Chains A and B, each alone.
Chain A
Amino acid sequence: MLLLVDAMLQSLDVISFNLWQVLISLANLLVLYLILKHFLYKPIRKALEKRQQTLDEEYSKAEGARASAQQYEADWNGRMQTAETEADRIVAASEARAQERDRAMLKDAKQRAGEIIRQAEAEAELEKKKAGQEIRQNIIDLSALLAEQVLPGQLDEEGHEALIDSVIRELDKTGSDGAAGYRGRG
């Protein structure tokens, strides 16, 4: 207990105010302020400012690059569009041309086919006529032969031929009725 009181009494002389010490301490703080200002804050601020400057420059550069890139893109897009329309146009034109040619070819083919058919018909007609004449000649020959057998010597060949020919012509003219009349008479 006594020790404690003694300590407290001693502690009273801890609070001793000294003018010069106060002034020195004041100066100390000022000196430290100057030290910090010149040796810590100044170089660091300088570095920070420089970095900010570089950063700003880089940013503006990047901005410019982006703008030019956008312009390039727009340019490219426009060119692409024109190329597409051009391609479309070319395709449409060639399609139209192909169709035209198709149609022409078809028409040509049809025409030619028609010609061929007509020719064939004409030939057939001719053939028919020829066949008819041949048949008639054969009949005439046959009937003349028969008549010679039935009435030998009475009939000369030329006179009979003319007769039979006229009969056949008549038959030809009357058609099926003529043919029936001829049979009834025979």
Chain B
Amino acid sequence: MNDKTKFRLIDILLIIGMILPLAAAMAVKILFTPYEEGIAVHGALVFFTIPMPLQELPIAESQINSWMLIISIFFFCLFMTHGTKEKADTKRQHICEWIVEKTDSLVGENMGEYFKGFSPFVGAVLALSAFSSLLSLLGLYAPTSDINIIAGWAILVFLLITYYKMKCGPLHYLKSFTEPVAVMLPMNIISEIATPVSMTFRHYGNVMSGSIISILIAAALQGLSRLLLGWLPGVLGEIPFLQIGLPAVLSVYFDVFSGMLQAFIFAMLTMMYVSSAFPADDYAARQARKRKKNA
């Protein structure tokens, strides 16, 4: 076996690795979805629950889907960087370089030189959010329409914000709550907490409401179809002809456009909040003082 066929074989295995998790998620969805009549808006399907302290942990569809998505993205990365050379002569390497350079420039423009290492994180936020929303195109439950998933990301962003605020020491951080005047303390605390909450609800609400609207309109079209075309003989009367067309257009907006937009907004907000949380001037002054002391 020569190198070329070996390379091809590994490529095929990686592609299978990309597709298989999503296919598995779809199979699980098909197997476990209970049959139901009419319309229903419900949360993620819970397969089983694990008893944990404080609260039980339900292993839900959204969780399974996001794990599968992460595995898929992992294989995608392996596939894209497979055969990376100094001289870029493959399409996939061009695409990879485009991704890396774009996120680098995005982070550089929005966060500045100090946060240069943030581009993989911003890329991860963008990829996870956008592809989670796009999973609904495969008929899967979009993890982004589960509040817990988004809340996890938002809390991670909140932790990052707090970490960078504490760069000048905990005292400096606590003092920042009483600025510009001490009376502002409760307001500052609320605004601090409001950041992850607003991020969570913005993203989750947009995706969730989109899917609810889609379901409602599909159901309404089904009813309308039965009302107008029910007189058709036999099976023809049962087919909801009016459902053809409009739900697809709505899906393009709610699943593709809205999902992408929310992913971008979430990533932008992450960058903005984290970079503005970092007190650059105070930090520089502090570092200078430290250096003086040591010298």
Contacts and interface: CB of A to CB of B under 8 A. Distances in A.
Contacts of A27: 152
Given A20-B57, A31-B70, A32-B124, A51 B86 contact: yes
A11 B212 contact: yes
Given A17-B151, A32-B70, A40 B99 contact: yes
Given A18-B148, A40-B77, A41-B120, 7 more contacts: A17-B147, A20-B55, A24-B152, A26-B153, A43-B84, A45-B100, A48-B100
B81 interface: yes
Interface string A17-40: 111111111111111110111011
B60 A21 contact: yes
Interface string B199-216: 000000000100010011
B70 A25 contact: no
Interface residues of A, number: 42
B120 A37 contact: yes
A48 to B, nearest CB: 7
B41 interface: yes
Q: Is the interface of A mostly helix, strand, loop or mixed?
A: helix
8 contacts: A7-B212, A11-B41, A15-B147, A28-B128, A32-B128, A39-B81, A40-B80, A48-B100
A14 interface: yes
Q: Is the interface of B mostly helix, strand, loop or mixed?
A: helix
A142 interface: no
A33 B124 contact: yes
B6 to A, nearest CB: 19
A108 interface: no
Interface string A99-118: 00000000000000000000
Nearest to A52: B86
Interface in B66-100: 66-67, 70, 73-74, 77-78, 80-81, 84-88, 93, 96-97, 99-100
A18 B77 contact: no
B39 interface: yes
A35 B127 CA distance: 12
Given A32-B124, A33-B121, A19 B55 contact: yes
Contacts of A14: 41-43, 147, 208
A169 interface: no
Which of A10, A13, A40, A44 has most chain B Cβ within 10 Å?
A: A40
Contact of B119 (A15, A41, A54): A41
B78 A30 contact: no
Contacts of B147: 14-17
B275 interface: no
Contact of B87 (A4, A24, A39, A51): A51
Nearest to A40: B77
B40 interface: yes
B234 interface: no
B43 A13 contact: yes
A107 B124 CA distance: 107
A22 B155 contact: yes
A122 interface: no
A40 B81 contact: yes
Contacts of B187: none
B145 to A, nearest CB: 8
Contacts of A7: 39-41, 212, 215-216
Interface string B96-108: 1101100000000
A3 interface: yes
B230 interface: no
A66 interface: no
A50 interface: yes
A139 interface: no
B151 A32 contact: no
Contact of A40 (B56, B100, B208): B100
Interface in A109-157: none
A21 B52 CA distance: 11
A47 interface: yes
Interface string B33-44: 000001111110
A47 B85 contact: yes
B149 interface: yes
Contacts of A16: 43, 147-148
